[in-house]
Structure 1
Amino acid sequence: MQRTIKNNWIVIFYIVVCFIWGTTWIAIKSAVETIPPLTSAGLRFLIAFPFLLSILKLKKQSLFYQNNKKMLFVFVTVCYFCIPYFLLNFGERFVSSGFTAILFSTVSIFMILFSIIINRTKVPINQLFGVILGFIFLILIILEKQQTFSETNILGICAILGAAICHSLSYVVIKKYGFEINVLTLNTLPMGIGGLLLLLLGILIEKPDVSSFSYSSIFAILYLAIVASVIGFALYFYLLKRMNTVMLSYVFIFFPVIAVSISLLIENEILSYKFFILFLGLLGAFTLTKIKIPT
């Protein structure tokens, strides 16, 4: 009976994580409508930091990295928090939330490439095939959308793909050099310092006018900080300890579907049948990268 209840909660938490990650993109879109990208990213992390710090203290984990991991600390702060989240916020000013989610979901593909380059990982043929197919479908999707593109749209796409590359590189480097570090220690202080750096840069460069911040943008920042960065984070790592990692990785396939659906409803984005066929092909390619067939 207790096992059944526990399994039910796992299913519920899995659905919640998919929903949170799927709604993150429309929240970012709303946030950057009136709050500049550096400032909005900084506020998100600074608001989330005390919550994560409280969880870290409750779990009696160390806030600081070991002395021999200082370079990893700098790397995580800059390449996992500062650069990619600025790029995401910047890019989504010019690209729809659904399309942003599709572009960012290529993290799955880039992770395999970086695993081969950095870790010399031997990748099954089906995963390599999935990577190749993924790039083909991604290019076709971009070409399908290009008829409505301007130069700023292309700049936004490059920024979002840059964020995906930064995140995938971070995952691979962390797995190689920080696998023994507790996940709360790994994320809490880099998030706080990253948020402070982003906000200071935002104040210096963007000179944000607080009076121009809309209520919807402020609410979006709070949602991103508390729901996405704290609750989503906590639930994901709760599931990571209790679920098959392959099944959990399918979150990266489900969240773009949710994001595109929300984009259609809220942003009134018009997408062709050809786009949907290519999108399904891309999801199929992602699925291939998740399946591990012994070589």
Structure 2
Amino acid sequence: MSLPEAGSTPEPGFLAPRVWLPFLVVSLIWGSTWLVIRDQLGTVPASWSVTYRFVIAAIGMVLLAAAMRQPLKIDRQMVGWTMLLGVLQFSMNFNFVYAAEHHITSGLVAVMFALLIVPNALLAKYWLGRQIGGAFILGSVIATAGVALLMLQEYRVAPVGGTEVLLGLSLALCSVCTASVSNVLQVTPKIARYPTITILAWSMLWGSVANALFAFVTDGPPVIDTRAGYIGGVLYLSIIGSVVTFPLYFRLIRDIGPGKAAYTGVVIPVVAMVLSTIFEGYIWSTLALAGGALALAGLVVAMQARKV
């Protein structure tokens, strides 16, 4: 059974400032986080790094809610929904991401996240009753072809064996699935009746609790890396990569639908590779150039769709 859409107001076009500006900000910031996440993998177990990130982010989101005078009170039913969102989006999703980066390159994980457009669009169709337009399908086919080329390029340069690559890709795919379910759930009418920041504050709180429990059970007591780079990375991922971006991204989902919003995932690996070119000397191959061009062309076509 399809659920009704969260709102009845006309969907804004991609050129509307309320759409393209947050879309650009989210893509640029999340494109930069892959470099930072890679530096987090070392002395500190990934589970504790995820915990630190979202403990700080949860505090930041509560402060943001207070500054914007957004309500923090929710009913008992919503407590359960925010627990589910927190575990899916801010615990399972990110633990899968960090675990995947132990086995494959950050670039390949970033490229895998471009596939988010597929489950987001399908779940939006069957859970929310949103129609998938022809332009979106055509754009997604073009973008998927580009993603496939980027994935092939990253696979070729990955300095790991076949088994490691398959394990890393499987973990990344699990991350994509948990993120997608969370993306679409938060647009359902029961949840969308609350402000985005209210939902995020509670979800990050429950996600932090789940992360801490998981980290303690799997990796023992907390471990900290006192390097300035590590501390700065945690703060960047917490504040810029979470408190700034998630309200913008979840607002995008509500404004233009989960399918179109997921196109940030198509732009993000291109941004990540550009930054890698600047800071790490990444050399663009013909495959990478073709893949990046197709991915962006698919974005342009898909955003012409009226619905997703």
TM-score, normalisation: structure 1: 0.81
Question: 2:182 and 2:211 mapped to 1: Cα distance?
Answer: 18
- Calculate the aligned-residue CA RMSD, in Å: 3.6
**CA deviation profile, 1:123-175 (whole Å, cap 9, x unmatched):** 11121233344444434443444344532222222222322222222121211
CA contact (8 A) 1:109 1:289 kept: no
Whole-Å separation in 2 of the counterparts to 1:118 and 1:61: 28
Counterpart residue number, 1:226:
239
Mind listing any 5+ residue stretches in structure 1 that lack a counterpart?
1-6
Gaps of 5+ in 2: 1-15
Shift of 1:46: 0.4
Match in the other structure for 1:205: 218
% identical aligned pairs: 21
User: Residues of 2 paired with 1:235 and 1:267: CA distance?
Assistant: 29
- Are the counterparts in 2 of residues 103 and 160 from structure 1 also a CA contact under 8 Å? yes
Structure richer in helix, relative to its length: 1
Q: Measure the CA separation in 1 of the matches of 2:120 and 2:260.
A: 17
Aligned to 2:208: 195
From 73, 86, 99, give the equivalent of 2:82: 73
Give deviations 1:86-144, integer Å, cap 9, x for gaps: 11111123333333322213223321121123223221112123334444443444344
Distance in 1 (CA, whole Å) between partners of 2:180 and 2:107 is 20
Give CA deviations for 1:228-278 in whole Å, capped at 9, x if unaligned: 1123345667889999x9998765444332211122343444552123212
Partner of 2:192: 179
What is the CA-CA distance between 1:283 and the residue it aligns to? Answer: 2.9
For each residue in 1:270-291, what CA deviation from the matched residue of structure 2 results, as whole angstroms up to 9, or x when unmatched? Answer: 5521232123223323333322
Amino acid at match of 1:163: S
Mapped partners of 2:122, 2:20: distance in 1 = 31
Equivalent in 168, 174, 192 of residue 180 of structure 2: 168
Query: Quick check: 1:60 aligned with 2:69?
Result: yes
Once residues 26 and 220 of structure 1 are traced to their aligned partners in structure 2, the CA distance between those partners, rounded to angstroms, is 10
Name the CA distance, whole Å, in 1 between partners of 2:306 and 2:21. Answer: 29
Q: Distance in 1 between matches of 2:267 and 2:232?
A: 25
- Which one is further off, 61-70 or 161-170? 61-70
Q: What secondary structure is seen at the aligned counterpart in 2 of 1:94?
A: coil
Q: Indicate how the Cα distance of structure 1 residues 134 and 158 shifts in structure 2: closer, same or farther if over 3 A, else same.
A: farther
- The answer as to 2:295 corresponding to 1:286 is no
CA distance in 2, matches of 1:279, 1:11: 19
Alignment pair present for 1:100 and 2:109 = yes
* 72-81 vs 230-239, greater mean Cα deviation: 230-239
Amino acid at match of 2:138: F
Report the Cα offset of residue 194 of structure 1. 1.0
Is the Cα contact below 8 Å between 2:54 and 2:204 reproduced in 1? yes
Alignment CA distance shift 1:134-1:235 (3 Å): closer
Q: 1:127 aligned to 113, 129, 136, which one? A: 136
Aligned length: 289
Range moving further from structure 2, 266-275 or 256-265? 266-275
Q: 1:21 to 1:267 in 2, by over 3 A?
A: same
Partner of 1:82: 91
- The answer (yes or no) to whether the contact 1:32–1:217 under 8 Å persists in 2 is no
What is the letter of the counterpart of residue 113 of structure 2? F
Return the TM-score normalized by structure 2: 0.78
Which amino acid in the other structure matches residue 94 of structure 2? Answer: Y
